[in-house]
Amino acid sequence: MRLTFVTTNAGKAAEVRSLLMALGIEIGVRAIRLTEIQSDSLEEISARCCEEAYEILREPVFVEDSGLFIERLNGFPGPYSSYVQRTIGNAGILKLMAGEENRRAYFRSCIACKLSDGPVKLFSGVCVGRISHEPRGSGGFGFDPLFIPDEGDGRTFAEMDVKEKSAISHRGKAVRLFAEWLKLAR
Ligand code: ITT
């Protein structure tokens, strides 16, 4: 079965592809920009995007929606992470967090998959950590230089290689659940 990941984010595509390859699942990647509805729920956003991707391609597809939720900012940027990354970027986030003691944050990932005309299936993962005081590392993408996962050793995601990051990341967790289901569904 051909399975296509629809994303315009090359960093996400690389992580998901290498995670699934290691589990014996090959995917294609299509960079189609889908309509992202405004919603506080990653599940709702990814499910709608998945329906749209399936309508366009008429073949087994999945999408992934993710975001960084900062406690002190009441969950901002959350579902708006992509827009915030493109506009104020990591420097803007650090400015908003200047002088803040509470730096707790988490990443969430939600994968939505549709193999046939049936319902969309959802898989999610969370990675809890904190926002650093300055950007560190050159790996990964997006907010990686700012995020220090609790399950790590004090390094930011951007200071880890892709395997180290995926072993504990929100996306790694969601992809492993997805892969388990795929193996049964295929
Ligand atoms: P697609 O919708 O085309 O897949 P996108 O980048 O717009 O690409 P999202 O809407 O899911 O994807 O945006 C999530 C944003 O959250 C992403 O652009 C990053 O800025 C950030 N993000 C998500 N996961 C991340 C991670 O593992 N490391 C760093 N930043 C991450």
The mean pLDDT of 153-180, rounded to a whole number, is: 97
Could you tell me if the CB of 124 is within 6 A of ligand 1?
no
**DSSP 8-class letter at 77:** B
pLDDT at 158 over 80: yes
Closest CA to 141 of 114, 160, 168: 160
Which pLDDT belongs to residue 54?
Answer: 98
Residue 1 — pLDDT band, cuts 50, 70, 90?
A: confident
Which pLDDT belongs to residue 108?
Answer: 98
The H or E element containing residue 21 is helix 10-22
Domain that holds residue 148: 4-185
Could you tell me if the CB of 39 is within 6 A of ligand 1?
no
**Which residues are CB-contacts of 116 (< 8 A; sequence separation ≥ 6)?**
60
> Rounded to an integer, what is the distance from CA 168 to the centroid of its chain?
13
Could you tell me if the CB of 140 is within 6 A of ligand 1?
yes
CA terminus-to-terminus distance, the chain? 7
* Bridge partner residues of 106 (DSSP): 69, 128
**Which residues are CB-contacts of 106 (< 8 A; sequence separation ≥ 6)?**
68, 69, 126, 127, 128, 129, 170
- State in Å: Cα 85 to ligand 1 middle: 8
pLDDT at 89 over 90: yes
Residue 173 — pLDDT band, cuts 50, 70, 90?
A: very high
pLDDT at 186 over 80: no
- State in Å: Cα 100 to ligand 1 middle: 24
Could you tell me if the CB of 67 is within 6 A of ligand 1?
yes
Ligand 1 mutation target, pool 18, 122, 141, most atoms within 8 A of CB: 141
**DSSP 8-class letter at 98:** T
Nearest ligand 1 atom to the CA of 85 is: 20
| Structural domain count, the chain | 1
pLDDT at 88 over 80: yes
Copy the structure tokens of residue 124: 């999610």
- State in Å: Cα 112 to ligand 1 middle: 15
- State in Å: Cα 65 to ligand 1 middle: 7
Which pLDDT belongs to residue 36?
Answer: 86
Compute the distance between CA of residue 104 and CA of residue 140 in angstroms, rounded to an integer: 20
Which pLDDT belongs to residue 46?
Answer: 98
Residue nearest to atom 11 of ligand 1 (CA): 65
Residue 177 — pLDDT band, cuts 50, 70, 90?
A: very high
DSSP states of 54-106 as a string? HHHH-S-EEEEEEEEEEGGGTT-BGGGHHHHHHHTHHHHHHHHTTT-S--EEE
Copy the structure tokens of residue 152: 């790590």
Residue 65 among the catalytic residues: yes
* Bridge partner residues of 111 (DSSP): 64, 123
> In this structure, what CATH number is given to the domain that contains residue 177?
3.90.950.10
Could you tell me if the CB of 116 is within 6 A of ligand 1?
no
pLDDT digits (tens, 9 = 90+) for 100-148: 999 999 999 999 999 999 999 999 999 999 999 999 999 999 999 999 9
